[in-house]
């Protein structure tokens, strides 16, 4: 995989420097200002805060004793007797593994259907897969509690057909379902992009050489999908490992994740413990990322790309199409039901009567002298999302190119690139607050970074790992000889990228870009800090501000507006992309 | 729908009294008073912030600006610790636990004592005062109570909550992140003592108490009939009317008071105008409007309250609460022990 990198083009250099500068100002420095607490005690360098957390049974259960120096035999005995506990970290990892498996189970069939079948509205459905990703937890909680409540639509449907009802509230199962609601669409999106790029000629070749459909699938299709499946597995694990508000919104404190305690320690300004927790969380997620990158490089298979042909879904009825119909029912229960319930929650008062009062409230708020205006929030959200897309895609592509090699440094840079996902959002928020918002003295100048530009920069930093993660596997599996030939024929590195590489990885770039847009729309922790009294607030910030300890109505109405505006813009973007030749 | 009717009525009453808000004396500054506060003070359905701004500015030579810091009071504690500017004059919406945190974290003064500068500070109800140093002046209070469905349950004592008949029927909030959740926890400490509250919670756990995150998480679950009792506010019927599913329950005839205070920053750029605003907030008419729009209870003994509000907002026969001195040094320990017991 030798790439000639001696001569670096100016556009590359500029993009690289801008990326590095943004990362330092909006991520490394702010996050460092918080995490430094983990390695200081009484003003001296020390690992004491981390040791305290490692040896606390609240966080590590029986493992805490081993960290404290006790014999591991006792732990082994407990494990064998089935009575070992691993504290909050153990539970957090456990629920993340289950959430990831469920997300894959729901997401992979979706990717298959989207990539292999043609049906009316396929593109629209694909556009809308990202909608769950941006929804504030208050909306998802409202939708899930209504849909899966004891008297909710699911249970009424079950009893109508004579089946026993299910009690899901306050259980681990409903948390897993909510995590799948957020993350299965991610699996669909990333894997479908890879599936659409599978070289069908290779499948045909295998078949013509006598391979059974199953053999051809296992030997030809699976290796080409593996990087995308594993990428999404990694992302889903990280996201559900860091899960916070939804766990306590539906499950309960007995099911608290590490992030719940981290949030508490930050709110109570117990910053040493908070920093130690954040460092350990990041160590786990980044460790997994590193291991994954090792695998990804080893897997990278050279391949070409050929256009995909799809079967018509409604052409006939067969076993496979019946399975697809069954899958449709699952989707209706896990996705459509909660979303419809969310929208309903915004037009029902606490006694279940129909009301439009919360939308009247939003309309009235447009003229508010003081406070948050919904129309401003909509405008800001869309503008920031477009800005993020424009910034994050080049950032992601540059980092992807820099790391699409199998070297130690590429793996380290690739691992660090995931930092925005690996560090708790509340830590990033606090870091931004106490550095760029409070002001930093640079060469005697007091510098402050707040407002719209800062928010777009923070969103781009939070979003570019998606572009990296979707584009890198596609780049590493591309035939290097294509670029080398172009370079040999005199094309500059930038020219080769624009003319050869990018067109070949377009589906991956488009998936990354769509995620960048979605991350920006949904981002809360950094945005709310960087708004800082100004009018650069976004839709999720407005949802939070309309939420009070007295009534849920206005927040669910604003959340519904967010849902509708986001859905429409995803569809519009996809259509524009189709015009621009990005399928 | 009932709430809207009621608020419309209150609006007329406000318009009638607004002209005769009597207080005009004090210090006439010419600056801008920056008020740091929480979201629903400016962004709820009938938020009090805009009304205060309009009516204060009408007879004072000062402008009110609101700011909603993303991390509440922590924003200013960190600013003080990091040596950054405090760009606000006063903070509105201070709880006793936050006051304790301020004193734990900071050696210097974040707020200064102002009771001596206020004409009406002696009208503040004694039981609501939570700051022995008179930095935080209460402007309203809530009472934590149960909201329950009278067709299903009839909770009147703490023992009722651990009764087998009520298994799985109580929803409360995480005391680490939620104000009503913390108040309910402290209420149990008040009832059973620091030595006994964890035993009581063990019984609650055995009876499958549901501990969700925030107030909205808990109330959302209650609205969807996941259980028949929820820890909430005694003003519940102002929003939802006097219906079977919205009955207010005071355990042992008690309710846990949660007064909210306002305090002037020691570095307030416009200290005089800030003091004027605090004085304004304590006027009898203004106190009535704050209570009704904020859906809380007044903090002074001579507030003018609308009759319909008073009939829907219930005051417990015996309000209980912990003051600063009882909580300082104990609060974190009580909450931490509770959290460990629940998750382990």
- Tens of pLDDT along chain A (583 residues) come to 444 444 567 887 888 888 999 999 999 999 999 999 999 877 789 999 999 999 999 999 999 999 999 888 888 988 888 888 899 999 999 999 999 999 999 999 999 999 999 999 898 998 899 899 999 999 999 999 999 999 899 999 999 999 999 999 999 999 999 999 999 999 999 899 888 878 778 888 888 888 888 888 888 888 888 888 998 999 999 999 999 999 999 999 999 999 999 999 999 999 999 999 999 999 999 999 988 888 776 765 555 555 567 888 888 888 989 999 999 999 999 999 999 999 999 999 878 899 999 999 999 999 888 889 999 999 999 999 999 999 999 999 988 888 877 778 888 888 888 899 999 999 999 999 999 999 888 877 888 888 999 999 999 999 999 899 888 877 877 777 888 888 888 888 888 888 888 887 887 888 889 989 999 999 999 999 999 878 999 999 999 999 988 888 999 999 999 999 999 999 988 788 766 655 5
Is the pLDDT confidence value at B140 over 60?
A: yes
DSSP per-residue string spanning B204-234: HHHTT-EEESSHHHHHHHHHTTS-SEEEEET
Q: Is the pLDDT of residue B3 over 50?
A: no
Q: Residue A568: how many CB atoms within 10 A of its CB?
A: 12
pLDDT at B247: 97
Q: For residue A341, give every residue at least 6 positions away whose Cβ sits within 8 Å of its Cβ, in sequence order, or none.
A: A142, A143, A144, A146, A147, A152, A153
Return the H-helix or E-strand segment holding B122: none
Task: Give contacts of A58 with chain B, Cβ < 8 Å.
Answer: 340, 343-344
If you count residue pairs, one on A and one on B, with CB atoms under 8 Å apart, how many are there? 182
How far, in Å, are A24, A105, A236 from residue A187 at the CA level? 30, 9, 8
Q: pLDDT tens for residues B257-266? A: 999 999 999 9
Cβ pair B68:A533 closer than 8 A: yes
Give the right CATH number for A10-46+86-579 from 3.90.180.10, 1.10.760.10, 1.10.3720.10, 3.40.50.620: 1.10.3720.10
Q: Is B64 left (phi over 0), alpha (psi -120 to 50) or beta?
A: beta
Q: Where are the alpha helices (DSSP H) in A348-491?
A: 357-365, 374-403, 408-416, 419-422, 425-432, 452-476, 480-488
Question: Cβ distance B102 to B73 under 8 Å?
Answer: yes
User: How wide is the angle at C-alpha A138 spanned by C-alphas A137 and A140, nearest 5°?
Assistant: 60
CB proximity B71 to A under 8 Å: yes
Copy the structure tokens of residue B103.
């004193």
Alpha-carbon Rg for chain B, nearest whole angstrom, is 20
Q: Residue B309 corresponds to which tokens in the numbers above?
A: 């509000």
At residue A501, the pLDDT reads 83
pLDDT at A308 (0 to 100) = 65
Distance CA A292, CA A236 (A): 13
CB-closest option in A88, A267, A545 to B74: A267
Please tell me chain B's helix, strand, coil percentages from 3-state DSSP, rounded to the nearest 5.
Answer: 45, 20, 35
Q: Where are the domains positioned within chain A?
A: 10-46+86-579, 47-85
Hey, are the CB atoms on A254 and B343 less than 8 Å from each other? Answer: yes
Q: How far is B301 from chain A (nearest CA, A)?
A: 24
For testing contact with chain A, the best of B224, B239, B291 (most A CBs within 10 A): B224
Contact yes or no for A533 and B67 at CB 8 A: yes
| A254 in contact with B, Cβ within 8 Å | yes
Tell me whether A65 touches chain B (CB under 8 Å): no
Taking a C-beta distance cutoff of 8 angstroms, is the pair A483, A3 a contact? Answer: yes
CATH architecture assignment, domain B143-257+317-343: 3-Layer(aba) Sandwich (3.40)
| Domain limits, chain B | 2-142+259-312, 143-257+317-343
Q: Which of B42, B68, B225 sits opposite A151 (nearest CB)?
A: B225
Beta strands in B186-333 (DSSP E): 210-212, 229-233, 247-249, 254-264, 297-298, 318-320
C-alpha distances in angstroms, B202 versus A239, A479, B207, B210?
33, 63, 9, 13
The alpha carbon of residue A142 is apart from the nearest alpha carbon of chain B, in Å, by 6
Q: Which residue of A has its CA nearest to B144?
A: A549
Question: Which of B311, B179, B199, B320 is CA-nearest to residue B251?
Answer: B320
- Which residue of chain B is at minimal alpha-carbon distance from A153? B224
Tokens of B56: 């204060």
User: Which of residues 499 through 528 in chain A touch B, CB cutoff 8 A?
Assistant: 528
With a CB cutoff of 8 Å and minimum separation 6, the contacts of A313 are A113, A117, A118, A119, A321, A324
What's the angle, vertex CA A41, arms to CA A36 and CA A45, rounded to 5?
A: 65
Helices (H), A197-300: 200-208, 213-216, 222-241, 245-246, 258-267, 271-299
Residues in A touching B7 (Cβ below 8 Å): none
- Do A88 and B343 make contact, defined as CB atoms within 8 angstroms? yes
Closest by Cβ to A549, choosing from B66, B179, B210 = B179
Which residues on B lie below 8 Å from A85 (Cβ)? 344
A531 touches chain B (CB under 8 A): yes
What's the pLDDT tens digit per position in B85-120? 898 999 999 999 999 999 999 999 999 998 888 998
- Coil, strand or helix at A18: helix
Quote the pTM value: 0.92
CB contact under 8 A, B240 and A350: yes
CA distance A233 to chain B (A): 28
**B contacts of A553 (beta carbons < 8 Å):** 45
Give the one of A369, A372, A554 whose C-beta lies nearest to B45's C-beta.
A554
Highest-confidence segment of A484-493, B149-158, B264-273: B149-158
Q: Do A264 and B67 touch (CB under 8 A)?
A: no
CB contact under 8 A, B225 and A268: no
Cα–Cα dist A512/A506, whole Å? 10
A142 contact B CB<8A: yes
CATH code of the domain occupying B2-142+259-312: 3.40.190.10
> Is A27 part of the contact surface with chain B (CB cutoff 8 Å)?
no
Which residue in B has a C-alpha nearest to residue A167's C-alpha? B226
Summarize pLDDT for B279-294 with one digit per residue, the tens: 999 999 999 999 999 9
Dihedral in degrees, nearest 10, Cα atoms A83, A86, A92, A93: -90
First to last CA, chain B: 44
Residue B27 in contact with partner chain A when CB distance is under 8 A: no
DSSP state, A8? P
Binary contact (B223, A141; C-beta < 8 A): no
Could you give the CA distance from residue A335 to residue B10 in angstroms, rounded to a whole number? 42
Q: Tell me whether A252 touches chain B (CB under 8 Å).
A: yes
pLDDT at B61 over 80: yes
- Restricting to A residues 334-363, those with a Cβ less than 8 Å away from any Cβ of B are 349-351, 353, 355, 357, 361
**B4 at interface of A, judged by CB pairs closer than 8 A:** yes
Closest in B47, B219, B226 to A169, CB measured: B226
Structure tokens at B157: 């004592």
pLDDT score of A579:
66
Identify all chain A residues contacting B4, using CB atoms and an 8 Å cutoff. 357
The bridge status of strand A311-312 relative to strand A440-442 is unpaired
């Amino acid at each position: 995989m030798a790439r000639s990198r001696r001569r670096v083009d100016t556009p590359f250099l500029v993009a690289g420097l801008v990326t590095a500068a943004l990362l330092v100002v909006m991520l490394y420095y702010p996050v460092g200002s918080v995490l430094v607490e983990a390695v200081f005690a009484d003003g001296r360098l020390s690992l004491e805060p981390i040791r305290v957390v490692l040896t606390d049974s609240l966080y590590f259960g029986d493992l805490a004793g081993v960290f404290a120096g006790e014999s591991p035999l006792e732990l082994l005995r407990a494990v064998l007797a089935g009575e070992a506990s691993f504290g909050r970290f153990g539970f957090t990892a456990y629920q993340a593994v289950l959430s990831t498996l469920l997300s894959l189970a729901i997401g992979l069939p979706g990717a298959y259907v989207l990539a292999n079948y043609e049906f009316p509205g396929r593109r629209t459905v694909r556009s809308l897969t990202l909608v769950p990703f941006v929804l504030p937890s208050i909306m998802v909680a409202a939708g899930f509690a209504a849909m899966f409540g004891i008297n909710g639509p699911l249970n009424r449907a079950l009893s109508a057909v004579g089946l026993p009802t299910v009690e899901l509230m306050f259980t681990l199962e409903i948390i897993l379902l909510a995590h799948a609601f957020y993350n299965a669409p991610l699996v669909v999106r990333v894997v479908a992009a890879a599936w659409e790029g599978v070289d069908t000629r290779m499948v045909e070749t295998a078949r013509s050489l006598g391979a059974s459909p199953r053999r051809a699938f296992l030997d030809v299709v699976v290796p080409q999908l593996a990087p995308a499946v594993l990428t999404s597995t990694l992302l889903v694990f990280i996201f559900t490992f860091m899960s916070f508000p939804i766990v306590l919104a539906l499950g309960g404190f007995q099911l608290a994740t590490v992030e719940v305690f981290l949030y508490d320690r930050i709110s109570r300004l117990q910053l040493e413990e908070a920093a130690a927790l954040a460092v350990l969380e990041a160590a786990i997620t980044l460790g997994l990322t590193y291991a994954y990158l090792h695998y990804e490089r080893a897997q990278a298979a050279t391949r070409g790309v050929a256009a995909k042909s799809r079967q018509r879904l409604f052409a006939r009825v067969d076993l496979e199409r019946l399975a697809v119909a069954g899958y449709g029912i699952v989707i209706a229960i896990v996705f459509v039901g909660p979303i419809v319930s969310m929208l309903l929650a915004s037009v029902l008062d606490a006694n279940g009567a129909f009301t439009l009062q919360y939308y009247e409230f939003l309309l009235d708020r447009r003229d508010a002298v003081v406070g948050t205006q919904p129309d401003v929030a909509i405008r800001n959200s869309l503008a920031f999302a477009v800005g993020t897309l424009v910034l994050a895609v080049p950032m992601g592509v540059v980092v992807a190119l820099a790391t699409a090699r199998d070297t130690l440094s590429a793996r380290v840079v690739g691992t660090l690139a995931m930092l925005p996902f690996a560090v708790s959002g509340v830590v990033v928020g606090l870091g931004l607050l106490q550095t760029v918002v409070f002001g930093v003295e640079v060469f005697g100048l007091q510098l402050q970074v707040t407002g719209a530009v800062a928010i777009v920069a923070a969103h781009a930093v939070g979003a570019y790992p998606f572009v990296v993660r979707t584009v890198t596997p596609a780049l590493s599996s591309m035939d290097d000889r294509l670029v080398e030939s172009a370079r040999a024929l005199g094309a500059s590195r930038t020219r080769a990228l624009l003319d050869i590489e990018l067109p070949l990885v377009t589906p991956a770039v488009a998936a990354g870009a769509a995620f960048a847009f979605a991350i920006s729309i949904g981002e809360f922790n950094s945005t709310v800090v960087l708004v800082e009294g100004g009018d650069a607030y976004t839709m999720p910030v407005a949802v939070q501000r309309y939420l009070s300890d007295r009534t849920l109505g206005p927040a669910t109405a604003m959340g519904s507006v967010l849902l509708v505006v986001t859905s429409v813009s995803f569809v519009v973007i996809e259509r524009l992309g189709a015009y621009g030749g990005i399928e | 729908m009932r709430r809207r009717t009621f608020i419309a009525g209150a609006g007329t009453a406000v318009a009638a009294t607004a002209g005769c808000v009597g207080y005009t004396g004090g210090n006439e500054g010419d600056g801008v008073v920056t008020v740091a506060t929480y979201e629903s003070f400016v962004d709820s359905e009938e938020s009090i912030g805009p009304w205060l701004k309009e009516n204060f500015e009408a007879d004072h030579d000062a402008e009110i600006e609101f700011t909603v810091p993303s991390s509440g009071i922590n924003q200013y504690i960190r600013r003080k610790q990091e040596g950054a500017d405090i760009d606000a004059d006063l903070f509105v919406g201070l709880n006793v636990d936050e006051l304790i945190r301020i004193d734990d974290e900071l050696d210097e003064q974040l707020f200064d004592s102002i009771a001596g500068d206020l004409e009406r500070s002696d009208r503040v109800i004694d039981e609501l005062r939570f700051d022995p140093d008179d930095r935080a002046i209460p402007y309203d209070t809530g009472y934590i109570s149960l909201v329950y469905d009278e067709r299903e349950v009839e909770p009147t004592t703490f023992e009722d909550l651990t009764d087998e008949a009520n298994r799985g029927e109580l929803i409360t909030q995480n005391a680490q992140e939620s104000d009503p959740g913390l108040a309910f926890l402290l209420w149990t400490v008040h009832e059973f003592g620091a030595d006994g509250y964890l035993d009581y919670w063990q019984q609650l756990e055995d009876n499958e108490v549901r501990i969700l995150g925030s107030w909205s998480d808990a109330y959302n679950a209650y609205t969807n009939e996941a259980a028949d009792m929820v820890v909430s506010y005694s003003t519940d019927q102002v929003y939802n009317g006097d219906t079977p599913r919205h009955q207010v329950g005071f355990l042992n005839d008690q309710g846990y008071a949660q007064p909210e205070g306002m305090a002037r920053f020691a570095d307030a750029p416009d200290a005089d105008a800030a003091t004027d605003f605090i004085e304004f907030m304590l006027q009898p008419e203004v106190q009535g409007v704050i209570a009704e729009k904020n859906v809380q209870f007044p903090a002074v003994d001579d507030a003018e309250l609308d009759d319909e509000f008073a009939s829907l907002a219930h005051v417990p026969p015996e309000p209980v609460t912990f003051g600063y001195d009882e909580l300082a040094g104990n609060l974190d320990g009580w909450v931490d022990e509770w959290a460990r017991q629940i998750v382990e």
